[in-house]
């Protein structure tokens, strides 16, 4: 990475608001935005579509390393198909936390993520942005929120897309996914030692964005 490229990492558990906040910060600062979760979702969607067994680590690595998604004006094309919404279903979310635990899959997606760091800067969101992919980042954030609040946020997201949401099932799914993300051997979900922690349970998007921009002003 060039020396002049500034990097802000935003990690945290499922539905902690990382994506919305990261996109907003990138917009405010004129930086690029990397949604690393989308890459894991794409690899998983592709594996499901190809009928790849989710316990076949080598086959999953091949699926991830040979994919060539196209990001175009807010839409994602994969193998000629518009998968923008298809990678966001709960079925894909659940399977993704299994596929993301495979070291070969993480290796396959590493360079793709590093290449997203372009001038003037990058805001990267995920689970291991501050710990593994961009350990040299200028500012590292770790967002949390209670499981109940996160399930409610995810429910509202699904309902906004015209889908129904079972809040109890969502809470169970989120907790199960977080457990798998935290307990995996490779790049587990955890704050970098130098990350700033923010519990967003009782904060709105605007308040979180403002807090992070204040931290960025202090960090520069």
Candidate segments 25-33, 58-66, 91-99, 198-206, binder of ligand CDP by CB under 6 A: 91-99
Give the three-class secondary structure for 34.
Answer: strand
69: left (phi over 0), alpha (psi -120 to 50) or beta: beta
Cα separation, 84 vs 213, whole angstroms: 28
Candidate segments 69-77, 90-98, 140-148, 158-166, binder of ligand CDP by CB under 6 A: 90-98
User: 64 or 209: whose CB is closer to ligand CDP?
Assistant: 64
Regarding 17 and contact with ligand CDP (CB under 6 A), the answer is no
Residues in region 138-197 near ligand CDP by CB under 6 A:
177, 181
Q: Work out the number of other CB atoms within 10 angstroms of the CB of residue 141.
A: 29
> What residue has token string 């906004």?
160
Residues in region 40-59 near ligand CDP by CB under 6 A:
40-41
Regarding 36 and contact with ligand CDP (CB under 6 A), the answer is yes
Q: Which of 8, 10, 15, 143 binds ligand CDP (CB under 6 A)?
A: 15
Cα separation, 104 vs 57, whole angstroms: 7
Give the three-class secondary structure for 5.
Answer: coil
User: 31 or 181: whose CB is closer to ligand CDP?
Assistant: 181
Query: Which string of x and - marks every residue 114-143 that binds ligand CDP (by CB under 6 A)?
Result: ------------xxx---------------
Candidate segments 48-56, 75-83, 96-104, 160-168, binder of ligand CDP by CB under 6 A: 96-104
Residue least distant from ligand CDP (Cβ) = 37
Partner residues linked to 32 by β-bridges? 122
Cα separation, 142 vs 150, whole angstroms: 15
User: 31 or 40: whose CB is closer to ligand CDP?
Assistant: 40
- Kindly give, in sequence order, each residue whose CB lies less than 8 Å from that of residue 213, ignoring residues fewer than 6 positions away: 25, 28
Secondary structure letter of residue 86 according to DSSP: G
* Mode of pairing for the β-strands spanning 196-199 and 81-82: unpaired
**Binding stretches for ligand CDP (CB under 6 A):** 14-15, 19, 36-37, 40-41, 93, 96-97, 100, 126-128, 177, 181
């Amino acid at each position: 990475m060039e020396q002049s490229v500034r990097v802000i990492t935003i990690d945290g558990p499922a539905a902690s608001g990382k994506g919305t906040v990261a996109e907003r910060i990138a917009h405010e600062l004129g930086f690029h935005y990397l949604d690393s979760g989308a890459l894991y979702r794409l690899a998983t969607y592709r594996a499901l579509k190809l009928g790849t067994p989710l316990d076949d680590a080598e086959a999953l690595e091949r699926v991830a390393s040979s994919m060539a998604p196209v990001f175009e004006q807010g839409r994602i094309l994969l193998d000629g198909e518009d998968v923008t919404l298809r990678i966001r279903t709960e079925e894909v979310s659940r399977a993704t936390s299994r596929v993301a635990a495979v070291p070969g899959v993480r290796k396959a997606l590493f360079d793709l993520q590093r290449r997203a760091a372009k001038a003037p800067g990058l805001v990267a969101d995920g689970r291991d942005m501050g710990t593994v992919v961009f350990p040299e980042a200028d500012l590292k954030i770790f967002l949390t929120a209670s499981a109940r609040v996160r399930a409610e946020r995810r429910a509202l997201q699904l309902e906004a897309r015209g889908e129904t949401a079972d809040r109890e099932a969502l809470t169970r799914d989120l907790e199960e996914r977080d457990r798998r993300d935290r307990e995996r051997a490779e790049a587990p979900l955890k704050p970098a030692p130098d990350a700033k922690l923010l519990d967003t349970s009782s904060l709105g998007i605007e308040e979180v964005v403002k807090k992070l921009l204040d931290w960025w002003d202090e960090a520069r």
